[in-house]
Amino acid sequence: MFRHKGKGRTYSHNLKLASILSCVAGLVNITGVLAVSTLTTNVTGHFAYFSEQLFLRNFKMASIYLLYILFFLSGAFVSGLIMEWASRHRPHTSYIIPLSLEMMIMLLTSFSSEILPNTPSVPIIISSALLFAMGLQNALVTRVSQSVVRTTHLTGLFTDLGIELSQFFSSIKRK
């Protein structure tokens, strides 16, 4: 799944990558929703909530949604930095490091009730950690597949699907 890059990637490689890591993202998202009542795989909804809370002048909640957005962005940024560094120094490990970091974060959050004290900020910490992990994953998958596959949100997937379907139907009319 990760060995092939650029033109060496096939539809089958991308399908395997999308299937496995979309499943991971789905599991993380439902876990976030059930455990801490927060979507933890995308930022689109958080931007809407952030804007709504600003409009309502509820700056405390607005800052929490901004925090979520920034953690997802930070995860994508860190993933990109790691892959850039590793591709220059250790090309064979450029994808292993972000995946390992993602797994460690998810493992730690699964034991968060044992590790963290029971305070009102725990759900925010868990949500932020999971959003960071999904930022890591989304950047990793986007980079591996050269922006063909996205695993942590439906907006990009449905945009790509719409474009692909229009190209498919256009090619049928030409024949």
- Calpha distance 140→135 (Å, rounded): 8
Q: Which of 103, 87, 73, 101 is nearest to 6 (CA)?
A: 87
pLDDT (0 to 100) of residue 12: 85
Segment 110-136, tens digit of pLDDT: 888 788 888 889 999 999 999 999 988
Low-confidence ranges of the chain (pLDDT < 50): none
Q: For residue 60, what are its two tokens?
A: 């405390």
pLDDT (0 to 100) of residue 65: 95
Amino acid (one-letter) located at 104: M
pLDDT (0 to 100) of residue 26: 86
pLDDT (0 to 100) of residue 174: 66
**Contact predicate 127/32, CB 8 Å:** yes
pLDDT (0 to 100) of residue 106: 92
Burial (CB count within 10 angstroms: exposed 0-12, middle 13-18, buried 19+), residue 43:
buried
pLDDT (0 to 100) of residue 88: 84
CA angle 38, 39, 41 (to 5 degrees): 140
